[in-house]
């Protein structure tokens, strides 16, 4: 199936050149909060991707019947319903991760990426393109989370997905985990570094 | 000297555009300016707006001012080691032991200086090479201060990481020397403090009981030895009236602490040089000491019933890093307030915060680092307000 240029752009753009976190600097708060370990970051990334994609589709389908003046409320209702479903599913099947994500799962409702995509894209495009756009933005957000969480868990607690990966002899020879990595400030600096590299690469291309 | 200069310039031809060593031109520039600039002096006639001094000469003066604190710090590291391992007889130090203390300290502190300079200058050179700029002189002082403000038992690789972090994220990303918001050396210490807290506080980090480079490595601490700093003892004391150390002992500086921070008179010697040459502002220093004394006195009078609050106000001035911070770090011309009135406010903020942190926060026995960093944060705002007030006053007068 050949995709139109617009559809391709809707999916691929947010992954790199128009990344919601790196370029639009949206969704930073949750990127700081859930990236201490890789597992919650992965779950958070998947949840946000699902919710953005689904809410984009739903809003795009009903966009012609939404009264303009109350569109934000209607968008919120759609997002809130989806967030509730996801959080209930997580509580049922992955209780410990849901507890780790705690309030940030519910706060997906207020994630700027969602409202931004609904307003900027889903309200004026068809359902299929909106789905691609939602998936693209969700993955664009998720890969940043995963990269940041990878570095933070590796250097901060010497583990990946909860399994120790730094061999014991490193510790025996004086290596120590960097406590700074466990603090939100370091997530901000790491995101800054990714933005730095991203700009450096993309500016060279131009 | 003239001859050497000619040879040096001839050698420099290699580094010019197209020369075979042109990719190392910033190295050459750095050493060239380090050795030979400014090679003019202020003219004797006519009025001068400012003297012929530049930032390189300023930096060298600060480094000179730090030398007494460093030398004493080395001696104290060795002295504390001898004390902890019970090598000092009750008759006092002999000449031999004196040299042993100094030699031990020298060997212990020297690696810190080397690591800090190699890491920091390495990054500076690389960045200068990438940006095609001259190497800035900013690291000269930073690299000298970092060894003085860390506990002697900090592993060297941690110092290297902290230095690299501070140079990159506190200086280079802001635009290099002269553009940093925070004191770079303090950022290095803050990084260590938050990343490896077990190596920055506690009883065992400030005194080296083991050996240095195999020297004295068979020694162990004597029974009943505690390596706690006075402020550390204070923070954990259950006795509300305990006084860990006397005034003159603390002022003379033969107590556990970070390398360069313990000795009052060595720091004051440096302060004299800085004040006489006009490098540091006496307003900032005076304001910090004054406000800290006042705040501590208020805690003495009306504070809670804890050992830290009962600690006499004059003792606060000579223990911990307050003196070192007030003289060498808060007065950093880049990160402190620039306006004359702003310097008083900036100093007052630091002096107030350091005592509040010491007395009211049981987790942090010492608060100078955090107080100065907070002061750095507010310095631009203070300046802005002072300038605004001044403008408004003059507008009204017009």
* Structural domain range at position A126: 31-205
Stretch B343-347: mean pLDDT: 94
Per-residue pLDDT of A130-188, as tens digits, reads 899 899 999 999 999 999 999 999 888 888 887 888 888 888 877 888 888 888 888 88
- The alpha carbon of residue B274 is apart from the nearest alpha carbon of chain A, in Å, by 35
User: What is the value of pTM for the model shown?
Assistant: 0.84
Burial of B167 (0-12, 13-18, 19+ CB in 10 A): buried
Instruction: Please report the pLDDT score of residue A180 as a whole number.
Output: 84
| Most confident stretch, B84-88, B99-103, B113-117 | B113-117
pLDDT band at A99 (very low <50, low <70, confident <90, very high): confident
Q: Does A174 contact B195 at a Cβ distance shorter than 8 Å?
A: no
Distance CA B338, CA B381 (A): 11
Q: Does B194 contact A180 at a Cβ distance shorter than 8 Å?
A: yes
Would you say residue A23 lies in a domain?
no
DSSP conformational letter for B258: S
Residue A26 has pLDDT above 80, yes or no: yes
Nearest residue in chain A measured CA to CA from B170 = A189
Q: What is the DSSP string of A140-198?
A: HHHHHHHHHHHHHHHHHHSEETTEE-S-HHHHHTT----GGGGSHHHHHHHHHHHHHHH
Average pLDDT, chain B: 84
Closest Cβ opposite residue A174 in set B155, B161, B197: B155
Count of domains forming chain A: 1
Distance CA B53, CA B58 (A): 7
Q: Which of B195, B205, B370 best probes binding to A when mutated, by most A CB atoms within 10 angstroms?
A: B195
- The alpha carbon of residue A178 is apart from the nearest alpha carbon of chain B, in Å, by 5
Would you say residue A71 lies in a domain?
yes
Would you say residue A22 lies in a domain?
no
Q: Does B195 contact A189 at a Cβ distance shorter than 8 Å?
A: no
- The alpha carbon of residue B129 is apart from the nearest alpha carbon of chain A, in Å, by 17
pLDDT band at B118 (very low <50, low <70, confident <90, very high): very high
Q: Does B196 contact A181 at a Cβ distance shorter than 8 Å?
A: no
Q: Which of A180, A182, A195 best probes binding to B when mutated, by most B CB atoms within 10 angstroms?
A: A180
Would you say residue A18 lies in a domain?
no
Instruction: Please report the pLDDT score of residue B39 as a whole number.
Output: 63
Residue B392 has pLDDT above 80, yes or no: yes
Stretch B196-210: mean pLDDT: 80
Average pLDDT, chain A: 86
At B17 the three-state DSSP class reads coil
Per-residue pLDDT of B123-134, as tens digits, reads 988 888 888 777
Q: Which of A176, A185, A193 best probes binding to B when mutated, by most B CB atoms within 10 angstroms?
A: A176
Q: Does B195 contact A179 at a Cβ distance shorter than 8 Å?
A: yes
Q: By the CB < 8 Å criterion, does A170 face chain B?
A: no
Give me the helices (H) in chain B, please.
Answer: 2-12, 25-36, 55-84, 95-131, 139-148, 156-165, 184-195, 230-236, 247-252, 264-276, 282-302, 307-310, 313-318, 322-324, 340-360, 368-397
- The alpha carbon of residue B164 is apart from the nearest alpha carbon of chain A, in Å, by 14
Stretch B209-224: mean pLDDT: 72
Peptide bond into B38 cis (omega under 30): yes
ipTM for the predicted complex: 0.82
B192 closest CA partner among A79, A179, A134: A179
Q: Which of B194, B201, B363 best probes binding to A when mutated, by most A CB atoms within 10 angstroms?
A: B194
Nearest residue in chain A measured CA to CA from B161 = A178
pLDDT band at B167 (very low <50, low <70, confident <90, very high): very high
Q: By the CB < 8 Å criterion, does A179 face chain B?
A: yes
Q: Does A176 contact B197 at a Cβ distance shorter than 8 Å?
A: no
> How many Cβ pairs within 8 Å bridge chains A and B?
20
Q: Which residues of A touch B169 (CB under 8 A)?
A: 189
Give me the helices (H) in A5-70, please.
Answer: 5-12, 28-33, 38-62
Instruction: Please report the pLDDT score of residue B387 as a whole number.
Output: 94
- Is B116 within 8 Å of B161 (Cβ atoms)? no
């Amino acid at each position: 199936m050949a995709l139109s240029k617009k559809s391709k752009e809707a999916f691929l753009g947010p992954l790199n050149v128009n990344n919601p976190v790196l370029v639009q600097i949206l969704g930073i708060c949750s990127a700081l909060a859930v990236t201490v370990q890789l597992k919650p970051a992965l779950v958070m990334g998947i949840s946000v991707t699902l919710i953005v994609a689904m809410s984009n589709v739903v809003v795009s389908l009903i966009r012609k019947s939404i009264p303009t003046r109350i569109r934000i409320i209607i968008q919120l209702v759609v997002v809130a319903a989806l967030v509730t479903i996801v959080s209930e599913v997580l509580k049922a099947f992955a209780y410990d991760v849901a507890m780790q994500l705690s309030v940030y799962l519910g706060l997906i409702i207020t994630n700027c990426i969602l409202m931004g995509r609904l307003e900027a894209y889903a309200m004026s495009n068809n359902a299929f393109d909106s789905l691609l756009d939602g998936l693209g933005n969700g993955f664009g957000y998720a890969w940043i989370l995963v990269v940041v969480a990878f570095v933070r868990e590796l250097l901060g607690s010497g583990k990946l997905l909860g399994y120790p990966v730094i061999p014991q002899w490193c510790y025996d020879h004086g290596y120590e985990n960097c406590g700074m990595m466990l603090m939100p400030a370091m997530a901000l600096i790491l995101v800054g570094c990714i933005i730095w590299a991203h700009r450096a690469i993309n500016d060279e291309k131009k | 000297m003239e001859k050497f200069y000619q040879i040096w310039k001839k050698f420099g031809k290699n580094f010019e555009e197209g020369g075979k060593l042109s990719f190392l031109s910033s190295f050459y520039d750095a050493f060239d300016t380090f050795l030979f600039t400014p090679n003019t002096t202020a003219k004797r006639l006519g009025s001068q707006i400012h003297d012929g001094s530049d930032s390189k000469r300023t930096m060298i003066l600060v480094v000179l001012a730090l030398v007494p604190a460093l030398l004493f710090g080395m001696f104290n590291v060795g002295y504390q080691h001898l004390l902890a391992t019970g090598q000092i007889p009750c008759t006092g130090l002999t000449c031999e032991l004196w040299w042993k203390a100094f030699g031990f300290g020298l060997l212990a502190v020297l690696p810190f200086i080397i690591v800090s300079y190699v890491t920091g200058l390495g990054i500076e050179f690389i960045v200068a090479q990438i940006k095609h700029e001259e190497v800035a002189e900013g690291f000269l002082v930073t690299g000298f201060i970092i060894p003085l403000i860390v506990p002697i038992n900090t592993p060297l690789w941690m110092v290297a990481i902290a230095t690299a972090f501070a140079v990159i994220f506190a200086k280079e990303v802001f635009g290099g020397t002269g553009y940093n918001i925070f004191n770079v050396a303090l950022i290095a210490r803050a990084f260590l403090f938050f990343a490896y807290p077990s190596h920055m506080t506690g009883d065992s980090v400030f005194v080296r009981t083991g050996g240095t480079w195999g020297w004295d490595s068979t020694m162990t601490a004597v029974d009943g030895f505690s390596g706690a700093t006075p402020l550390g003892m204070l923070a954990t004391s259950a006795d509300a009236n305990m006084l860990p150390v006397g005034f003159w002992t603390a002022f003379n500086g033969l107590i556990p602490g970070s390398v360069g921070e313990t000795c009052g008179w060595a720091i004051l010697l440096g302060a004299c040089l800085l004040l006489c040459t006009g490098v540091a502002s006496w307003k900032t220093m005076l304001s910090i000491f004054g406000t800290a004394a006042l705040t501590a006195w208020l805690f003495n009078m009306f504070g809670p019933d804890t050992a830290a609050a009962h600690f006499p106000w004059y003792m606060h001035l000579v223990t911990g890093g307050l003196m070192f911070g007030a003289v060498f770090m808060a007065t950093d011309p880049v990160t402190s307030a620039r306006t004359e009135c702003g310097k008083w406010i900036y100093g007052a903020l630091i002096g107030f915060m350091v005592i509040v942190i010491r007395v009211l926060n049981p987790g942090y026995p010492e608060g100078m680092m955090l107080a100065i960093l907070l002061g750095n944060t507010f310095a631009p705002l203070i300046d802005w307000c002072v300038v605004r007030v001044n403008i408004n006053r003059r507008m009204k007068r017009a």
